[in-house]
Amino acid sequence: MSTSCVQAFELRAGVVVCEINRPDALNALNTEVLHELLRQVESVKCNDSASVVILRSVGDKAFVAGADIKEMLNYSTDQAFRFSSLGQSVFSALSDLPQVVIAQVQGFALGGGLELALAADFIIASQKAKFGLPEVGLGLIPGFGGTQRLVKRLGFAKALEWMTSAERYSAEVAYQLGLLNRVLEHEQLSTGVEALAQTIAAQGPRAVRAAKRAARAAESSHGQLGFEFEAQLFSSCFAGAEAREGLSAFVEKRKPEFRSIER
């Protein structure tokens, strides 16, 4: 396979697409895809002009059908350990991106595929999407952080049901449980995701990043510490020209021009 198994490109000002391209294997995550995903995520991280990353994949059937079962079949314990370390680096790098990351799920998001979507900030899915964690049926458990992230999203009992039953769930059920931000008609998925990405990219870029950092901190810190961090981030918004532009634009009854501000 060529290095094009994952591509990243600027869709429009402030919006980058990161796209997995292995549709013949339903975009299953093998070592090559993980290496390439890590490379692209690291380069997106340095893109100061991007506010949003759309994480999506090629093909109609699957977002990602999991870790590559055929590759894992003959793993030695050493190979399994290396695969695990690589996967964890990719998933941490993705969830630590300073940009808002939207997973666009058009079909199956199973096993490592659901874990990948969970590493994004939010998930927008087609009505045709299907979610689940089939690992226990293979004698495994999710290993890319999914056990932790799913509990945070669904609560302990539902998440454990998903992990231990290996059942598949429709987008409607996943939405009702709070896993998804939006469910869109299949044909409208790309345009809907891109429209939301554009809306976010039109806001103050520095403020969008600060909002993400503050919201992420809520997941890991408690009570007063979180409020103090929020206050620090709030005051940091006044360090550059962005807040001045946003506040002045309101007073002057015009649209703010965030994109032309130097960062």
Q: Of 2, 9, 70, 219, which lies in the binding site for ligand DAK, with binding defined by CB under 6 A?
A: 70
Least Å from the CB of residue 161 to ligand DAK: 17
Relative to beta strand 108-110, strand 168-170 is unpaired
Can 172 be counted among the known catalytic residues?
no
Contacts of 28 (CB under 8 A, 6+ apart): 22, 64, 65, 66, 67, 68, 69, 70, 112
Q: Which of the following is catalytic: 19, 36, 135, 230? A: 135
* Strand ordering across the sheet containing 130-132: 62-64, 108-110, 130-132, 168-170
Pattern 127-166, binding to ligand DAK, x per CB under 6 A? Answer: -------xx--x-x-xxx----------------------
Of 149, 202, 200, 141, the C-alpha closest to 179 is 149
Least Å from the CB of residue 255 to ligand DAK: 45
- Specify the DSSP class assigned to residue 186: G
As given in the structure block, the two tokens for residue 113 are 């595929």
Can 242 be counted among the known catalytic residues?
no
Nearer to ligand DAK, 70 or 254 (CB): 70
Q: 20, 47 in Cβ contact below 8 A?
A: no
Nearer to ligand DAK, 119 or 197 (CB): 119
Q: Rounded to an integer, what distance in angstroms lies between the CA atom of residue 84 and that of residue 69?
A: 14
Least Å from the CB of residue 177 to ligand DAK: 20
Q: Please give the residue whose beta carbon sits closest to ligand DAK in the complex.
A: 143
Instruction: List active site positions.
Output: 115, 135
Chain residues in the site for ligand DAK (CB under 6 A): 25-26, 28, 62, 65-70, 84, 87, 108, 110-112, 134-135, 138, 140, 142-144
